[in-house]
């Protein structure tokens, strides 16, 4: 067991899997000699060489397109897009090609690409380095979308993604890259893609969260406990496919729901969770569902703290549904 932060867990997992599978190839801007802008690939170029850790031009469409070609010819490419905000030149490759190859080929081809990219605010990156647009990819059939919140889950989920035969978007919450630390087993293990985690048991209210917002939710839960409200927290971990069974089980237990994410509220992933609950468990609800999210504006620089959900905003939502 080793204590790691999230970026270290990424690095350790990539190293372990590259040793296990010589088909894994890393590519992206500055991932090689410099070890990545967040140092997630530090040391891997020196260990595995330029044929397996490839510095690319600043061309996201090319990075994704080349990765698709590599995968079709038997490799396991792991492209890094430095920030989710800059993935859109490659979005057509992801949406039109990567996500659809298994279907358009009648199952003859799979494209086992794992796209790693940091997302979200919290680093004073302003609007070009802070966005949370995970819903775009959840809306694309054929992809899996994974967002870890702890070092343990980072290793387990990334290992599962690197062994998956289909394309995976692996979004890393950069706000907590180094601030969240935890025990990570040295042994080989996987966290199943598509399985949520009940991070805290409770009876009165359920809070659904993922990524950095899990830790905001946990802080709010402590504030709620001081007021006598017993809150359950569910870390979704995977947005596509998401764990509807765990979601409904918690809703039926508490009857009150708060959903937290830092993406814009309108058409954010929380809207899908709310719709699924309304379709499947409406009669178990004791109060309207409340979403705590970013605002429907471009991500602000000066007002970053006001834009991102915090513990007090989540606490207000918990109290609202509890007192309804």
Question: Which residues are catalytically annotated?
Answer: 129
E strands in the chain: 2-5, 24-28, 53-55, 76-80, 114-119, 144-146, 168-173, 181-184, 197-200, 205-209, 231-235, 238-240, 257-264, 290-294
234 C-beta neighbours (distance < 10 Å), count: 27
Under 8 Å between Cβ of 29 and 83: no
Q: Could you give the dihedral angle defined by the CA atoms of residues 178, 59, 100 and 22, in that order, rounded to the nearest 10 degrees?
A: -60
**22 Cβ contact list (under 8 Å, min separation 6):** 52
Rounded Cα distance between 81 and 41, Å, is: 12
- Bridge partners of residue 79, in order along the sequence: 27
Under 8 Å between Cβ of 291 and 267: no
- Rounded to whole angstroms, what are the CA distances from 26 to 52, 162, 290, 302? 6, 12, 40, 35
Rounded Cα distance between 178 and 244, Å, is: 30
Exposed e or buried b for every residue in 199-214, given b needs 16+ CB within 10 A? bbebebbbbbbbbbbb
- Rounded to whole angstroms, what are the CA distances from 288 to 209, 246, 258, 323? 17, 19, 9, 11
Burial of 171 (0-12, 13-18, 19+ CB in 10 A): buried
């Amino acid at each position: 067991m080793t204590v790691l932060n999230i970026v270290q867990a990424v690095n350790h997992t990539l190293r372990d899997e590259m040793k296990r599978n010589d088909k894994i190839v890393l590519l992206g801007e500055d991932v090689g000699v410099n070890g990545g802008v967040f140092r997630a690939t530090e040391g891997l170029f020196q260990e595995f060489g330029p044929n397996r850790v490839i510095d690319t031009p600043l061309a996201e469409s090319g990075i994704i397109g080349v990765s698709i070609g590599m995968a079709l010819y038997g490799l396991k490419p792991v492209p890094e897009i430095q920030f989710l905000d800059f993935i859109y030149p490659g979005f057509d490759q992801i949406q039109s090609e990567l996500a659809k190859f298994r279907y358009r080929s009648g199952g003859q081809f799979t494209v086992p690409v794992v796209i790693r990219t940091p997302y979200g605010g919290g680093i004073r990156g302003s609007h070009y380095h802070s966005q949370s647009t995970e819903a775009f990819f959840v809306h694309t059939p054929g992809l899996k979308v994974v967002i870890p919140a702890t070092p343990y889950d980072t290793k387990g989920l990334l290992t599962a993604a690197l062994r998956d035969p289909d394309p995976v978007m692996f979004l890393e919450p950069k706000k907590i890259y180094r601030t969240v630390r935890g025990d990570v087993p040295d042994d080989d293990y996987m966290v199943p893609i598509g399985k949520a985690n009940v991070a805290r048991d409770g009876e009165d209210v359920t809070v659904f969260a993922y990524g950095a917002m899990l830790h905001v939710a946990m802080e709010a839960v402590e504030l709620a406990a001081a007021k006598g409200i017993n809150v359950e927290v569910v870390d979704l971990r995977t947005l596509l496919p998401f764990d509807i069974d765990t979601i409904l089980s918690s809703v039926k237990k508490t009857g009150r729901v708060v959903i937290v994410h830092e993406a814009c509220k309108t058409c954010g992933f929380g809207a899908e969770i709310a719709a699924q609950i309304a379709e499947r468990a409406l009669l178990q609800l004791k109060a309207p569902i409340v979403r705590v999210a970013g605002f429907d504006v471009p991500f602000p620089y000066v007002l970053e703290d006001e834009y991102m959900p915090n513990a007090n905003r989540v606490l207000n939502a918990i109290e609202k549904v509890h007192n309804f």
